[in-house]
A and B are shown apart, each in its own frame.
Chain A
Amino acid sequence: MVDKKIFRDPIYNLIIFDKKEDKVILDLIDTFAFQRLKRIRQLGLSWITFPSATHDRFSHSLGVAYLAGMYLDNLRNVPNKIEIIDETGEYEINRKSLKLLLQVAGLLHDIGHGPFSHAFEKITKIKHEQISIKLIKSNEIKFILDSVENDELKGNLSRWVVQILDKSFSVRWAVDVISSQLDVDRMDYLLRDAYFCGVKYVSFDWEWILKNIMVEKIPALGGREGIVVNAAKGVYSLEAFILSRYHMYEQVYFHKTTRGFEQVIAKIMGRVNEFKGDGLKFDNKYYEQFLNDNQDIESFLMLDDFVIISQIGVWAKECDDTILQELCACFIERRPFKMIREVTNDSYLSPDENDKIQRFFINKRLDKKHFVLYDTSKNNPYKDAYLEGESIEKAENIWLMKRDGQVVEFKEVSDMVKGLNLKKTYRVYVHNRFYDEINQILKT
């Protein structure tokens, strides 16, 4: 096996790349930008609630690259020659080249993630997808990609990877492999997150799903080709997949304590962004540099979970801004904001309740926005659009082919999915210092 590079993996056992044929993948893994993903946790702050959820985006990205290869190995009805049209011309590549292209896209799909990505993106207004694309177009990675030892991909690989990630690639079903309701990203993170959180009842037969997928025209989408599953053979494993999403969503991704802390991090980042020019001391100059220039990729690459948490630890002890100090202390000393309200399908608080809370903080000469958090599933980065019912765009379905050859949406063949609906849950948290008083006020 000297010609193979082997990674041990708790989900797939062994992830194997050929040192010659997959050299581009191995070269990408060795880059600074990719190695940095070892310092960014896949689940942000879930380790606060699930202590073993410390897996990182590095292992997830390897897993996605591996699954993308398996997907292509099993996908039926893939033509011998795949036509690609873009602004530079028309091309034809074979299945093997497409497989490598999708594996690389899978490997790099998260390379632009920052620490505590969701909060980071909300505050800095930079999307990780755009940073990923910037990194792919950067000198080091672009050179590796375009020097690939594959005649069909040489000179084109970086451009096509960008197109897959920004979804402008002309082969639409290929985009679906990386990003859709049945994509390799989702499959890997569900399996990996469940494993590391210790959620044993979350499991689905991904191998069986991959054995029953094909490229087919989807009449409901105007005849465009997409990924379709054999209904007779695949429906039950798909149901397990959807149920996995449901359970992970309810148990892990929207866990009230984790979400409470994630909102605290968002408050911290927001406060830092507000006061960065006002004498706020940064121990890590790259954090400050990036906040002052969110196009500064070199500084961005120096940011990871450890940098941010370390900085928060310092501010929790020494900070001229008392509000920031208090928020940081809540995080470091594990003093979460406490939930005062959780409702389903109802508004967070009545106007009257909102007034009472507002007056409470005015009397204390404090700004309510620092001490009250609102949360709902729409803020969750792992929101499951599939189960949100009406929030899903019609075209974002999982498609199945029935025995009679008809291609239909999943809900039409699965009674279980018809019955599943995520509740719309709204939560309000307050700083634990004010919990008892506010609770009392709301009761009067």
Chain B
Amino acid sequence: MWDEYQEYSRVISLLKVAGEIQDRKKLQKIVYILQMKGVGFNEKFTYHYYGPYSTELQMEVTSLSDWGFVSETSKQTESNHVCYTYSLKEGSDYENEYDDVQEVIDNAEIIKHLNSIPTHVLELIATIFYLKDYNYPTDENNKDFVRKKINALKPNLLNVFDEAWEKFIEIDKIQLKLII
């Protein structure tokens, strides 16, 4: 059953496990990949310029920030890009307001792994998961096919395709602890 509060609880649990997530794009892609792996995030993602993106997720994070549970800090990078960093706000009462979501807590290892991957590589991995979700062939034998799709979709990221592809295959095979 869809439960509004659970949607916020999942984001809180994610940040609890990850500690800190640098870059809004990274947070988006982590949640998307977890969703694709069966973790119960319910937000709707659509394909945007930087790959799968959810306005619902962003609004949840912004709301949690407005309510004082999540810290959102920003800084300008060398390439003039604004980078947002997210973490749970110290001293806030999130423990009382939101229960831990066990499915997220139990999968801390993959969350930390995804969080350690550079954002642009994660963007490409998420895009490959998107292709998989839309029934394009993305198994190990179809690397060339996927490369051609990425060439059409994200030619600027072709230079990291091999790295992203290896990581996608590895992540795709990982079995998560899920609530059925």
Contact = CB atoms under 8 A, between A and B. Distances in A.
A275 B134 CA distance: 29
B48 interface: yes
Given A85-B152, A167-B47, A270-B1, A351 B55 contact: no
A351 B59 contact: no
A424 B63 contact: yes
B145 to A, nearest CB: 5
B60 A378 contact: yes
| Interface range on chain B (Cβ under 8 Å from partner) | 35 or more
A347 B5 CA distance: 11
A222 interface: yes
Interface in B59-83: 59-60, 62-63, 66-67
Given A87-B149, A270-B1, A345 B55 contact: no
Given A123-B2, A369-B3, A393-B53, A85 B151 contact: yes
Contacts of B97: 347, 351, 354
A7 B109 CA distance: 58
Interface residues of A, number: 48
A383 interface: yes
A2 interface: no
B90 interface: no
B85 to A, nearest CB: 14
Contacts of A273: 1
B58 interface: yes
A133 B134 contact: yes
A304 to B, nearest CB: 22
Contacts of B50: 393, 395
B152 A378 contact: no
Interface stretch (A44-52, A147-155, A280-288, A384-392): A384-392
Nearest to A179: B46
A127 B151 CA distance: 26
Given A369-B3, A391-B55, A424 B62 contact: yes
Interface centre among A351, A377, A378 (most CB of B within 10 A): A378
Nearest to B63: A424
Contacts of B56: 378-379, 383
B134 A383 contact: no
B148 interface: yes
Contacts of A377: 59
Interface string A117-133: 00001110101011001
A170 B42 contact: no
B149 A351 contact: no
Given A351-B93, A351-B96, A87 B55 contact: no
A255 B13 CA distance: 32
Interface string A273-308: 110000000000000000000000000000000000
A395 B50 CA distance: 8
B156 A166 contact: no
Closest 7 CB pairs between A and B?
A: A395-B49, A170-B152, A378-B59, A374-B4, A167-B47, A391-B58, A270-B1
